[in-house]
Amino acid sequence: MKKVALVTGSSRGIGRAVAARLARSGWAVGINYVTHRQAAEDLRDTLIGEGCQAAVYQADVADRAAVEQMVRAVEQDLGPVSLLVNNAGIAGQMLFQDITEEQWRRYFAVNLDGAFHTIQAVLPHMLHEKSGCIINTSSIWGQRGASCEVAYSATKAAVIGLTRSLAMELGPSHIRVNCVAPGVIDTDMLSVLPEETRRDLAEQTPLGRLGTPEDIAAAVAFLASEEASFLTGQVITPDGGFIV
């Protein structure tokens, strides 16, 4: 069966590194974006220039119809999705009492409903083939919680619950469902923090540095590989020991 991967939120940051790593490992990769079209197309062109197979798809994962249309387009262009990486997400810092209902709903719509929509869209083929791999992206804050990031942490804790429960349900169909929970990663989300805060976070990490998108991509590539064929329902935490 052809190796076809769909990576949501893959125009920048962790998703971009994941898409690139998978493409260079022999996967035909669907690169999903919401607003950063040029970045997505630049990645596609780079990968194609290297002899990889990649295509770009615009969709807000919170929009079920848009997700279903995207998956149909991937199937037509590249083939049925055999690996889904749910990476798209939003984050932000605010006091709990300042969170509006609209903001709360948006966090869940993207971070949790997005995974719900994409999984349901690709699952029929996986069930038919009795084969497939789903990798969800949580966070260390979904495992431990974070002050001033209650909405984000709640969605990421829910992603872990989704992963573990779905792994049990889909196991008999030989579909593996796992999760990565990144630590403090040096991406655009982190760049808004003051340099002093970034240094403090690196110092709080036992390995003494911030993580890179490539660190997470390596974990995803492992979970997607045959070497992880007996792993399902697991939460891998590439965080440099931050929450040990």
Residues classed as catalytic? 152
Taken as a whole, the chain contains a residue count of 244
For the range 154-161, what are the long-range contacts, defined as Cβ-Cβ under 8 Å and sequence gap of 24 or more? 154/107, 154/108, 155/89, 155/107, 155/108, 155/111, 155/112, 156/111, 156/181, 158/108, 158/111, 158/112, 159/86, 159/111, 159/112, 159/115, 160/235
For residue 6, the SS3 value is strand
List the 4-7 sheet strands across, edge first.
Answer: 54-58, 28-33, 4-7, 83-86, 132-137, 175-180, 235-236
